Structure 1
Amino acid sequence: MTAVAAFVLVLVLAMALGIYSKRGVKTTEDFLVGGRSFGGLLLFILVVGEVYSIGTVVGFPGGVYAEGAGFAVWFMGYILLGYPIGYFLLPLLFKAGRRYSAVTLPDILRGHFNSRPLELTAALLSVIFLIPWAQLQLTGLTVALTGLGLGLTPVVTVMIGVAIAMAFALLSGIKAPAYVSFVKDFALVFAIIVVAVFVLAMNPSIPDITAQADALSGHTTIGPGLPMLHTMSTMLFQAVGFYMFPFVLQAIMSSKSARTIKRTQIGMPLYMLMYPFLLITAYYSISAVPGLTGANTNLAFIEVARTLLPEFLVGIVAGGAALCAIVVLAASALSIGTLVARNVLVDLPEKRQKNYVRAIIAVYLLISIVLTLVVPNLMGTLINTAYYGFTQLIVPVALLVFGSRTRAGVMAAGLAGGVLATLGLYIFGIDLGGLSIGVPALAANIAIVTLGRLTWPRTTPTEAIWTRGHPRSEWARTPGPDSNPTSSTPIRPAGENH
Structure 2
Amino acid sequence: MASAVFIAIIALSFFVALLSRRNHAHQNTQDFFAASGQFGGLLVFLLTVGETYSIGSIMGFPAAAWHEGIPFVGWFLGYIVLAYPVGYFLNPLIWKAGRRENALTFADLFRSYFSSRFLEVAVTLSAILFLLPLGELQMAGLIATIGEFHWPFSPSVIAGGCAVLTFSWLALSGVRAPAFVSAIKDSIVILAIVFISIAVLYHSSWHALVQASRAMPLATQRDNMHTITTILIQALGFCVAPQTIPFVFTARSASIVRRNQILMPLYMLMFPLLLLCALYASAVNLPLSGKNTVFIDVAMALLPAWGFGLVTAACALSGLVVLAGVCLCIGSLVSRNLMHGLPDMRQKNCAKVVITLYLVFCVYTAMRFSALMPVLTTVYYLGVVQLFPAMMCIGLGLNVSTGFVTAGFLAGEVLAIGLAFFDVSVENMNVGFIGLLLNTSLVALGFATRASDTVKQRRELF
What TM-score comes out, normalization by structure 1 length?
Answer: 0.85
Greater mean deviation of Cα atoms: 195-204 or 175-184: 195-204
Call closer, same or farther: CA 1:67–1:374 in 2, change over 3 Å: closer
Number of the residue aligned with 2:98? 97
Number of the residue aligned with 2:382? 388
Number of the residue aligned with 1:123? 124
CA distance in 1, matches of 2:379, 2:82: 20
What letter is aligned with 1:21? S
Q: Is the 8 A contact 2:147 2:155 kept in 1?
A: yes
What letter is aligned with 2:143? T
1:326 Cα deviation after fit:
0.6
CA distance in 2, matches of 1:95, 1:446: 23
Please give the residue correspondences for 1:273-422 in structure 2 after superposition, counting only pairs within 5 Å.
273-290=269-286, 296-373=290-367, 384-422=378-416
Call closer, same or farther: CA 1:368–1:286 in 2, change over 3 Å: same
Unaligned runs of 5+ in 2: 456-462
What letter is aligned with 1:142? I
Higher helix proportion (structure 1 or 2) = 2
Number of the residue aligned with 1:3? 2
Number of the residue aligned with 2:234? 238
Number of the residue aligned with 2:458? none
Number of the residue aligned with 1:226? 222
2:238 match: secondary structure = coil
Q: Identity of aligned pairs, percent?
A: 36
Number of the residue aligned with 2:459? none
Number of the residue aligned with 1:79? 80
CA distance in 2, matches of 1:366, 1:458: 51
Q: Is the 8 A contact 2:60 2:374 kept in 1?
A: no
Matched, 1:181 2:175: no
1:118 Cα deviation after fit:
2.1
Number of the residue aligned with 1:259? 255
Number of the residue aligned with 2:244? 248
Number of the residue aligned with 2:460? none
CA distance in 1, matches of 2:454, 2:110: 17
Greater mean deviation of Cα atoms: 120-129 or 139-148: 139-148
Q: Is the 8 A contact 1:385 1:422 kept in 2?
A: no
1:50 match: secondary structure = coil
Matched, 1:446 2:440: yes
Number of the residue aligned with 2:18? 19
Unaligned runs of 5+ in 1: 462-498
Greater mean deviation of Cα atoms: 148-157 or 442-451: 148-157
Greater mean deviation of Cα atoms: 101-110 or 18-27: 18-27
Instruction: Please provide the CA RMSD for this pair.
Output: 2.3
Pick one of 232, 257, 267 that aligns with 1:271.
Answer: 267
What letter is aligned with 2:272? P
Number of the residue aligned with 1:474? none
1:200 Cα deviation after fit:
0.7
1:458 Cα deviation after fit:
9.1
1:413 Cα deviation after fit:
2.1
What letter is aligned with 1:388? L
CA distance in 2, matches of 1:231, 1:376: 24
CA distance in 2, matches of 1:392, 1:94: 20
What letter is aligned with 1:4? S
What letter is aligned with 1:202? H
CA distance in 1, matches of 2:315, 2:303: 15
Call closer, same or farther: CA 1:452–1:85 in 2, change over 3 Å: closer
Number of the residue aligned with 2:208? 208
CA distance in 2, matches of 1:386, 1:337: 18
1:266 match: secondary structure = helix
Q: Is the 8 A contact 1:289 1:304 kept in 2?
A: no
Greater mean deviation of Cα atoms: 354-363 or 330-339: 354-363
What letter is aligned with 1:337? G
Offset from partner CA, 1:149-180 (integer Å, 9 cap, x none):
55654223211221111111222110011001
What TM-score comes out, normalization by structure 2 length?
Answer: 0.92
Offset from partner CA, 1:113-171 (integer Å, 9 cap, x none):
22222222221111111112100111122222324655654223211221111111222
1:296 Cα deviation after fit:
3.2
CA distance in 1, matches of 2:134, 2:419: 20
1:273 Cα deviation after fit:
1.1
Q: Is the 8 A contact 1:3 1:312 kept in 2?
A: yes
CA distance in 1, matches of 2:39, 2:266: 20
Call closer, same or farther: CA 1:125–1:337 in 2, change over 3 Å: same
Q: Is the 8 A contact 1:148 1:303 kept in 2?
A: no
Greater mean deviation of Cα atoms: 79-88 or 431-440: 431-440
Q: Is the 8 A contact 1:86 1:265 kept in 2?
A: yes
Greater mean deviation of Cα atoms: 134-143 or 445-454: 445-454
What letter is aligned with 2:332? T
CA distance in 2, matches of 1:125, 1:459: 31
Q: Is the 8 A contact 1:21 1:179 kept in 2?
A: yes
Call closer, same or farther: CA 1:340–1:459 in 2, change over 3 Å: farther
